Amino acid sequence: MAQSFDIFLASGSPRRRELLTREGVDFSVRTAEVDEYLTIDERRDPEQAAKSLAERKARASVEALLNQDGYTGMAAVIAADTMVVLDGEIYGKPVDEDDAMRMLGELSGRTHQVITGVSVWLMHAPADNPEELSLGFRSFAETSHVRFKDLDEGIIAWYVGTGEPMDKAGAYGIQGLGGDLVADVRGDFDNVVGLPVKRLVADFADVFGLEE
Ligand SMILES: Cc1cn([C@H]2C[C@H](O)[C@@H](COP(=O)(O)OP(=O)(O)OP(=O)(O)O)O2)c(=O)[nH]c1=O
């Protein structure tokens, strides 16, 4: 694959790295701290919230590349944010085991949405003239629908005890032991894991060197 851009993934998530690697994309990881706070308006519109968080993550990474790393060249910076939504309410990562138990109890036997917002920032930072920086971005949100089996308290307590839920939106990982909690998935499976990588690569074919 002939890539005309340097590609940076602004993510600490090992799942996102694996998914992008699987598509054959050559990239580096450049994470930067962001505040994941959502406004009331963003909470009312989960797709917008996911895009907005992805945009913040990518922008922070762009700023770090330019201001801390002194990056020059043509780059695409990719970030994503995944959230679970049940009855319009956003579920992020559980704060503790009780929170994980609560989330899984609420998801039991029902269908929820998993929304991943993706933001891709394109920048050109000329080495000879830093004043001529050009920067732009495009974002999208992808939604998958996941139906949970009926879960009894014993299963939920066992699953939380494995530790798997703690760093994951909605307190489960469909790609791991959490796959056994799931009855059915409609939509993109990778999107549930954290990155709708097929759509990302298709929508940004020029960036990934898939077009002449
Ligand atoms: C629903 C679900 C979520 N997840 C994960 C994907 C994300 O890593 C995490 C949601 O948290 P995010 O805030 O989207 O991402 P992150 O903090 O892990 O990584 P970064 O911000 O650095 O990119 O939940 C799974 O791994 N499997 C699942 O089935």
Q: What residue spans define the domains of the chain?
A: 6-203
What residue type is 159 in one-letter code? Y
**Ligand 1 atom at minimal distance to the Cα of residue 116:** 14
Sign of CA pseudo-dihedral 91, 94, 99, 100:
positive
Q: Model pTM greater than 0.90?
A: yes
Burial 135-164 (b: 16+ CB within 10 A, else e): eebebbbbbbebebeebeeeebeebbeeeb
Geometric angle at alpha carbon 116, from 114 and 60, rounded to 5°: 145
Nearest CA to ligand 1 atom 20: 11
With a 6 Å cutoff on the Cβ, whether 172 touches ligand 1 is yes
Centre of ligand 1 to C-alpha 169, Å, is: 6
H or E element that contains 192 = helix 189-193
Q: Which of 31, 56, 82 to mutate to test the pocket of ligand 1 (most atoms within 8 A of CB)?
A: 82
With a 6 Å cutoff on the Cβ, whether 78 touches ligand 1 is no
pLDDT given at position 36: 85
pLDDT given at position 210: 65
Q: Which fold has domain 6-203?
A: Maf protein (3.90.950)
Nearest CA to ligand 1 atom 23: 11
Centre of ligand 1 to C-alpha 78, Å, is: 14
Residues of the chain predicted below pLDDT 50: 212
Does the annotation count 69 as an active-site position? Answer: no
What does residue 78 show for φ and ψ, rounded to 5 degrees?
A: -110, 135
Query: What is the C-alpha end-to-end distance of the chain, expressed in Å?
Result: 11
Q: Residue 207 burial (CB < 10 Å; 0-12/13-18/19+)?
A: buried
pLDDT given at position 208: 84
The residues pairing with 182 across neighbouring beta strands, listed in sequence order, are: 148
pLDDT given at position 192: 98
Name the catalytic one among 6, 26, 81, 98.
Answer: 81
Burial 170-194 (b: 16+ CB within 10 A, else e): bbbbbbeebeebeeebeebebbbbb
Centre of ligand 1 to C-alpha 54, Å, is: 12
pLDDT given at position 212: 44
pLDDT given at position 109: 98
